[in-house]
Structure formats: structure tokens, C-alpha cells
Chain A
């Protein structure tokens, strides 16, 4: 079983996304789209909410984290600007630093990677930009991805791949992702372990969002519950 950390689900095609995920053996799909409970429902694979913080200043991001941490399973911050990246890398409420491929891209700095490694914040690499580009544009994206991967691995920062799919056909199976990982400098075993890390992180955070969760190891239980 596996997880896709970043899928942009279109409301009208929810069933197609779920069908693809099921076909690929994906247990959880995380999306930034605010789907109604009716659409999300009790489905299998499970669709979970994810927040990508869009604030440009530190104060805006702090406010956003406080607003989203109680209703998002994964919180991601796009890599832009050293101060924002360093703040996010140190904050244990943040799960992912997402690599972006804009023209004015701010690559991953080794200092940021070291901070992130200490706080168990992972570098998220969406594969969609590689998928939909070609020629020199794809070379540019691969350069950014390969450099960031190398810096993250040197610093001991976790790297995870996500599909970043905007349509269900852009989703890739975990095994296909393993091979795509080799293009950006990850070996297949690392990619497999990274998927396991992502799955564990999602399960941990789902547990944390449970209203009965107080702190790691402490949760509210009903009288008689948990006794055998």
C-alpha cells in the first residue's frame, strides 16, 4: 500500500481518481481541493485534506499554519525565499517543503536541508512538471530537481515523490514513481522507503487529528475501552 501526497482532484472526476488509485494500490490520496464531505464520503482509497501554504511573508504563513493544522493531514510549504524556507524547515508542524519550478525558483540551500533533516521535514518533488514538459524546459526542471535531491540527500533530509497530478491520467503508480525517481538521482530502494515514510507520516497525522488525541502516547478513552 502506498500514498500519493499531492493530487489536484477535480470534483466531477472523483470516481476516476479513486479508480486509478485503487488500480495502483494507493491507500490514501491527499488533495488541496476542498471537497465536500458528500463527495469525499467514506471511500476506499481514502481522500484526505492537505494544505499548501501560499503566504509570502512569515507572518502570513504563521497565521495560515494555525488555521490549517487542525483540518489538514499534511501541511506543505513551497520553497520560495530563504527566510520562509528556513522557518518552515524548523517548524515541526510542517511536513513538506515542496520544490517548485517557477522561473525565479529558489533552489534548496544546504542550510535549509540540514534544518529540515533535524525537524523531520521532507522535500517533496512533484513529478508532473517532468511529465508535461519537454526539451530544454524539461532539462531545466531536471537540473533543479537533481540539484535539490543531491543537497537533500547529503544533508540527511528525507526526499519524497508525489504525482502533483491535475488530471487522473497524470497519476503514476508507486512502481512507476520508483523509476521516475532514478531520473532525479534517487535509487529505487530509496524511493520505495520514501513512499513508506510518506505512508507512515500520513497515518501518524491522521491519528493526531483524531479529537481524542492529546499528545503522543496520550489519548482520551471511554470507560472500559482498551481493556481485554
Chain B
């Protein structure tokens, strides 16, 4: 099986209402991706939350590179998680966690 290329996305989640847990967030992104692009996209996406801080709303999302654009479009269109309204802000994208950390520290 061909190895897939990962992309790491540093993001911020702005929340209006109750704080959103990591599980709620990743489910909401998968659901949005499913609605927009279907089951195959979700299957290929390999979405995984590497890091997420509920308080600051920042985190790192791991995505299959081939689905990155669609996954981030779906994430940007997440509007409500449970009863909280949210705005997903993708900030930086990188191929490795180390490079992503460097980018986020220097910016």
C-alpha cells in the first residue's frame, strides 16, 4: 500500500458558548467533510487531532495531504458544535510537526 503524505495544520477554534472538547471537534470536522464531499473523502482523510487545548482553542490537526484542501474547506464551514457556535481558523500548514512548531514560534 502506498504511504500517504501527512500535513499538520496549526489552527485556532473561536468558540461562542460552552468549550468544545477534542472529540466533539474532530467529529464535527468529519461530519462536515462527509456532508460536503462524501464517505470516500472521510475514509481517505486520516483526520486526527494531534494536539488541542480547550482553553486557548489552539491545536494541531493531522490530515492526509490529498484531502487537505477539502478537509480545511469542511472545517471552515463548521458552524455549530453541540450548542456552541464556532469559527475554525487555519493558521499554518506544514509537513512535519517540528517545522510547524518552528513556524508557529517564529510568527
The chain A residues found within 8 Å of chain B, CB to CB, are 20, 23-24, 130-132, 134, 138, 167-173, 175-177, 179-180, 182-183, 188
Report B43-91 residues with CB < 8 Å from chain A CB: 69-70, 72-73, 75-77, 79, 85-91
Q: Residues of B with Cβ closer than 8 Å to A?
A: 12, 14, 16, 35-36, 69-70, 72-73, 75-77, 79, 85-91
The docked-state distance in angstroms from the alpha carbon of A175 to that of B107 is 15
B69 near A179 with CB under 8 A, answer yes
Q: Is the CB of B91 within 8 A of A175?
A: yes
Establish whether residues B35 and A171, one from each chain, have CB atoms under 8 Å apart when the complex forms. Answer: no
A-B contact pairs, 25 of them (CB 8 A): A20-B14, A24-B89, A130-B77, A131-B77, A138-B35, A168-B16, A169-B85, A169-B87, A170-B79, A170-B87, A171-B87, A172-B76, A172-B87, A172-B89, A173-B89, A176-B89, A176-B90, A179-B72, A179-B73, A179-B90, A180-B73, A180-B76, A180-B77, A182-B69, A183-B77
3 nearest A-B pairs in the assembled complex, by CB-CB distance: A176-B76, A179-B73, A179-B72
Q: By DSSP majority rule, is chain A's interface helix, strand, loop, or mixed?
A: helix
Q: In the complex, what distance in Å separates the CA atom of A130 from the CA atom of B85?
A: 15
Q: How far, in Å, is A125 (CB) from chain B's closest CB?
A: 14
> In the bound complex, do residue A134 and residue B76 qualify as a contact, i.e. CB atoms below 8 Å apart?
no
Give B75 Cβ to nearest chain A Cβ, in Å: 8
In the complex, A131 Cα to B86 Cα: how many Å? 11
B12: chain A residues at CB < 8 Å are: 23
Chain B residues with Cβ under 8 A from A170's Cβ? Answer: 79, 85, 87
Return chain B residues, CB-CB under 8 Å to A180: 73, 76-77
Cβ–Cβ contact A175 & B89, under 8 A: yes
- Whether A20 lies near B87 (C-beta < 8 A) is yes
- Whether A176 contacts B88 in the complex (CB less than 8 A), given A131-B79, A182-B73, comes out as yes
Point out the residues of chain B lying under 8 angstroms from A176, CB to CB: 72, 75-76, 87-90
